[in-house]
Structure 1
């Protein structure tokens, strides 16, 4: 039987479902952060903003093992639909939280969204190799990543705009509820899938389950290698994103709109890079563009830091008025584009080298490593800022560390050169 195309009913509803989920998560998170900025003291608002990122990632560390086990044990399509109903319930609760302005309640909703996302991730990445192989698996991963980052951009912008409208505490959660309903409709259109490991029971002893899952991934060399590559991408992304507010405030003397623009440019760059990977990368030579993309990340991050150190842009018009502002945006876009090209081959390598009966669990192991790497990068960066380190120094250090990682990838990739192109 011929594989479906990326424009078929097998893929389009999946693409829409996951993109709407990313959009909704980021709409809610940014609406919450912006409301806090205008409702709480600067210190409390900053603490809430920092806490929100950790709360959303924490479930990936806690429940990725049983999430992967459930995804392998049952039809992924049916579970996707249930996660979308779960999302709808959370958005109804969010409506109540925004109306009352109870930030503790809204943070609990955010934690619930993190749990929902942790269970959804093994489903969306685990089902792709059931539909595609070879170059189509590469293209489908590129499309999924592009849709995810497009959702991040649109959700972040929409959340900030909606919450600042008159009656924004009604419009923002109402939009989130509508997006959840649309996600349910699209999820119902995804064709049914079979269980990869029928009868598998989830282990809710979380510490034991996670350790066993990571051990299983470690003993599958290409899977572990791919997971480390993806985790490094997320750690680098977290480092660059966390630098935006500090850099904008201390160097650019910019307002919040400039930070939003930097975030949008970065997210769109990763999306474009993911689409570029879908066209350039081939299954028979997955890692061909990984090293050039990684070297590009270091080059453009370092140049971005250098340009911003000599740039003053209190608002977007001021940023766009001079050539250094455009150069900084180009550096940022190219850094992100290289990141997209860098990450997609590793996702394909993970999926192609995981046994079909364990594929979702291997995605779960990758999610644990991603979350740990992201939180660790954020913690190290926060400590460096507390010690008075400048954003430029942190970004330059990240660029240098990235060069070292590229050296490791170059050596390790020789052992993984003959990667299978299908699951």
Structure 2
């Protein structure tokens, strides 16, 4: 035993018998509160001599070392001192010959398989510290530590809402207690530890959520648990009409593009290319092909005109290829797979050949193609102003005009005054 501890006991104990009792208790407490003993003092180890002196004074029934003097000698706060005092008292009672059986929260939790163990023990220790915070309660219930431990354990166990509840009578019978004092102690815990009960219920709900959530995630994330999902997915893919709809739309587009002569003038975008050549397209000629058919005739006429041989030759009457191609185009076939309305074929009346006799340059002229998208449309947004900023600027301009109409232009006013002064 260190000399500093002996000197501290001598300064606290006024009587020799108190000093000797405190000395023996300090020797036992140092042996039974060491590492691995289950009674760890942690930060309260420095106050062990003063705690032993107070316990010796209580055991002898004198007032040499009251509780407040022992606490001031330890230089510990109230909560830490009370916790260290209860730990030392439990360690000493468990080793006294003929002493009552002293239980710990760890043994009770292991006996009843309460989980999670660390969180349960921590909650029970907090409840015990809160209950023994009052000096009157501590004097009344600190003599029988085992009964207090059992009461705190039963009270905490009941708040955790376990599937298999325990009864006060069965707990008292298992550890040889009288059920009535145990019930009275549980009622006292209900009155003094209301805040602890709320916190225990919250912690219990959080533990249940953390225990259930990973299991659900594991079941939902495992791909091999339900082989019927893959078969169901394949069956739904077979039953979906996405492919049929795509084919129907492709057919409709190809028929609509050949429904009239106006549609041939519309350029095709890269995203709507015709993958299948239409039989109508094979027989008919597009304007581009018609231009190639007319080109040899126009070239020969041009050479003859240069030679001067057919300057005054009358124009020959030939049937127009444009009329022949138009007459060859059959009426569009309505598709039964789409509800869209098809355009009615525009019948071109057959006229005599002299009505189509036009000058040679007009035959070469290509029909104007209509553009579907204006140029520089993608860069238009970079040249435009913010609509919100324009609205703010317009409001500011209106405000300036209103103020100027009421009070005049200050720049002009001060300018006239400056010119007058000069």
> Which of the five TM-score ranges fits, normalised by the shorter chain?
under 0.3
Which structure has the larger Rg over C-alpha atoms? 2
Greater relative CO, 1 or 2 (CA 8 Å, sep 6+): 1
More helix by share: 1
